[in-house]
Structure 1
């Protein structure tokens, strides 16, 4: 069997992969519309292009050329590594090549390089989208030589990102199995979504680019960072500097990516393919391991006995608790919304017309704790509709095959699980923060707000189409109404904050209104529990 890379066979494999990519379609179960994933790729490239435009503005906004180059190369390295980890994890960890092609007279290096070239073709598109505007702006402002150097260092940065990502996966393959790696990738995707959502709001408020550029200087440890190598290489071309520092950094910027790519091809490729070959075997062996028959009651079991009726409501509570923690799509859609709690708190606490110190000092004399009371409701209530959709929706036949006379109990069980698992912890964290800033006088506000939140949550659930938990096929057509529900929630929460703000002048009214709120919660909850099958959305 050949041991080196066979270029002709590699190109045949790459062409086959690219052909399969363009012919892969996603079939909608309802209307049988076919959409190629190329449209999705174009959308992603447009988004990356927009990000590149935002970074490209720094070419004109920052007076320090070196700082601008460091920021850009850091951004490219981060984006490429995260893209490889999140979007290409299924390609990198695909064992189908080993099962189908490897038994043929094709070396593992050829298969590895085919997989790598396949990914590099897509990364080239992402790189162009990310760097198009910064490169054009650099050519326009700093000239041809600097622009060409900028293009070269961008390509070298991508090579480093590829090597870093493969090294990351090799470490994961060494100490984890396939399921754990998928879990890690899922949390990376969640992290990226949260990072951009939070960063968009927070980073511009805490960074003053002009003062940063004015006080910018490199410390000794900065010279160990690849973005600094790349930036100093471009800076050397821009200023035509040939001193020892620029020569050393240029050698590192060019030499390290080339060497790491050679190491990747020479040594890591066979090891990576070998680990992928045994990945499925490890998964099979792990699935055969037996667990002890004696198990302690889980947290969901203990809580379900406290807040749910016996029977189907308790079962729905435990099922929802476990699925929301295990289902990848639910976590990808719902967990990033939890980040908006931090965003809203930061936006309302640290006003743009005040410094962070001034805002913090003025907090005890303000009524901004109302935001802390009602923000958790806005984020958690989005899970009501998300919870209805699941890729394994076919399994919902179990609901119809069991003797459930009141399917409303399934709904209330899942709603209580959502409250106990996500709303209550978030609310307690907000309460602890408010207690630290505003002290004990806000306790009655949070008690009143808790009743308000619970009543509003169940009102939203009553007004939302009644889907059984995890029983609907994820589709754009069915989920287009989410924006309307979000707007209704925003209006409702705004009204709650307004009413609460008015009642701040009459704190004794809180205790007079709370019994009515509790009665309303019980009434709506019982009404939901009694929902018949004809009220369940088909």
Structure 2
């Protein structure tokens, strides 16, 4: 079996593990086997490009670290200046925590939630401490490797630019941060498993992707607003709620130690940076047996379905679909979107961004007033409601991803079904995607915008939706015509990514014309009537696709 360098490094701490009651030799064997098995798992970041399976014994994760290192260049840019360490390092740890936690949830949840140990290893004379230690070290190996890939170059630059003390402090806090993220994620899963079954947890892992997308979008703005830039000097204004901004915990020790700051807030932040991870680890050790017991719920599926939602979607299919075949694919697409976890993992983070972007840009604009009522009065006099076009940023991703599935091998069913024409397939699929993914977000955003800007913007909101339907058809016509859910995610065509650039230009043009029309009487209504007619024409003509054209890109 392959010998890993990281295991040789762990050998130096053999005595320490044995003092805690861990059978080190068995733990080492378990880790070695896990690392070999991980060679078959392809990280999310490499899904699109890694098609070579000739060297299965090589761990794909370690081969992906070079790509992670490239993304870490932005951290180097933040490390170089010698301006305000609390500001610089807050940004550094904010980026690192988001990237690492996102990767942990997307790529390593299966490692943290592994229950095969119960079925295989527990039948052998191996104690709980040894198995739990092997699992924790297994995750930490990947987490620390990932962290070093992201921040390794930044560590070298920090040593040259800021000195040895900065370097040691940075490295020490990276270790604390990794431990804190692992334990925090474990607590999150434990809380979910305490009250729900394993099926719910699998869904929550997808929903966390959306939440993280929203949090990072807000977080970057929030971290920036913690500081005021006055005459090129960065000024920190302490507030009580900043105790909940975790990146500032890890940034504060740099200011206390290297800048000799005695700010009370900085001192408390520094204490939290050390105390919270240590306390979290101690609590995790106490609760690890409970966590392992609850993991058995991953094998439990309540199987409950919401019959009211099912009936509603049946009614919607009858209303929006013109024939039985179209209704069938409308319902089929709904169930695939609802139940296909790999599809949700790819698409749902974009939902989060599409949801938050329109609000993010209007709330960044403070206006001339200082209070909330003055801000509302100011916003009502502007045309910032057109930011709702940012919701349409989701459409190219949705249309592009409708052809992919983790269960693509089941696409043989298309060849045996008595399908007369391809139009009904694509119409039903596209309509279901719009109603399931786009319409709920747009309706909620429209309601909030009406509250902010007033009832006068209703015609504009109707026009935006009509333009979004036009944009959807253009996205569909611009991309390959593969049958829904018939291709593997690993076969994603890189060339389709470049189509998004002209599509974004088109969306900007639609919004620009809308903006110009708001300055003329009846301009919005004339634009609305024209685009409505164009939409009807395109929806009738764009789906006349020959089977030969579809079959060229058909893969099973």
Query: Is TM more than 0.5 here?
Result: yes
1:517 to partner: Cα distance: 4.2
- Conserved? CA contact 2:213–2:353, under 8 Å: no
Structure 2 residue 79 is matched with structure 1 residue 56: yes
Matches within 5 A, 1:54-453: 56=79, 60-62=82-84, 65=85, 83-132=103-152, 135=155, 139=159, 143-145=163-165, 147-197=167-217, 199-200=219-220, 202-203=221-222, 206-210=225-229, 214-217=235-238, 222=243, 237-238=257-258, 257=277, 261=281, 264-265=284-285, 267-276=286-295, 278-279=296-297, 282-283=300-301, 286=302, 297-341=310-354, 345=358, 349=362, 363-372=379-388, 374-453=389-468
1-structure distance, mates of 2:76, 2:513 = 43
1:6 to partner: Cα distance: 0.8
- Conserved? CA contact 1:70–1:227, under 8 Å: yes
1-structure distance, mates of 2:219, 2:498 = 26
1:495 to partner: Cα distance: 2.9
Tell me the secondary structure at the aligned position of residue 481 of structure 1.
helix
Question: Residue 9 of structure 1 aligns with which residue?
Answer: 26
1:307 to partner: Cα distance: 1.0
Tell me the secondary structure at the aligned position of residue 214 of structure 1.
strand
Question: Residue 21 of structure 1 aligns with which residue?
Answer: 38
Tell me the secondary structure at the aligned position of residue 168 of structure 1.
helix
Structure 2 residue 64 is matched with structure 1 residue 41: yes
Tell me the secondary structure at the aligned position of residue 489 of structure 2.
coil
1-structure distance, mates of 2:264, 2:387 = 56
Larger Rg: 1
1-structure distance, mates of 2:272, 2:448 = 47
2-structure distance, mates of 1:22, 1:528 = 44
Q: Deviations over 1:383-429 (max 9, x none)?
A: 11111111111222223322110121011011111222333334434
Deviation larger for 180-189 or 120-129: 120-129
1:173 to partner: Cα distance: 2.9
For residues 163 and 337 of structure 1, do their structure 2 counterparts lie closer, same or farther at Cα, with a shift above 3 Å needed? closer
Tell me the secondary structure at the aligned position of residue 22 of structure 2.
coil
1-structure distance, mates of 2:113, 2:331 = 33
Question: Residue 479 of structure 1 aligns with which residue?
Answer: 493
1-structure distance, mates of 2:478, 2:140 = 48
Deviation larger for 78-87 or 170-179: 78-87
Deviation larger for 409-418 or 78-87: 78-87
Question: Structure 1 stretches of 5 or more lacking a match?
Answer: none
Q: CA RMSD in A?
A: 4.5
2-structure distance, mates of 1:196, 1:142 = 28
Question: Could you state the TM-score of these two structures normalised by the residue count of structure 1?
Answer: 0.79
Question: Residue 469 of structure 2 aligns with which residue?
Answer: 454
